[in-house]
Amino acid sequence: MESGYGLTNIVERSTAGARDLSRRELREGARRLEAKVLRYRPRFIAFLGIGAYRAAFDLPGTVPGRQDRTIGQTVVWVLPSPSGLNAHYAFSRLVRMYSELHRAAEHE
């Protein structure tokens, strides 16, 4: 953890997209991930994929950006997937959203 950040997945198997994951897989993965976050205590966690986050944590009304909820003391962000399959967000909008997280991580 020298770098101060890490990468992980909610579900540890490859898929073409979040639609290929069951709610059960996502929810079980969310429980495992919450345990990791509580153990390693990062300042921030960012979930890439709004739909997968909504399903995994049973929070259907989640909107992108910084969330009011935390995991322990860890600040939660939810951002759109940068996948080319995600046509809902223009590249410039993705850049702005990801930049907000970057600024928060640098200044908090």
| Structure token digits, residue 35 | 């345990």
pLDDT tens for residues 12-64? 888 877 788 899 999 999 999 999 999 999 999 999 999 999 999 999 999 99
Amino acid in the structure at residue 28 = E
Domains of the chain: 18-107 (3.40.470.10)
CB-CB contact of 37 with 46 (8 Å):
no
Give the percent of the chain with pLDDT over 70. 94
**pLDDT band at 1; cut points 50, 70, 90:** very low
Name residues whose C-beta falls within 8 Å of residue 20's C-beta, 6 or more positions apart in sequence.
none
Q: What is the mean pLDDT of the chain?
A: 89
Give the strand pairing for 65-71 and 74-79: antiparallel
| Structure token digits, residue 33 | 């991930």
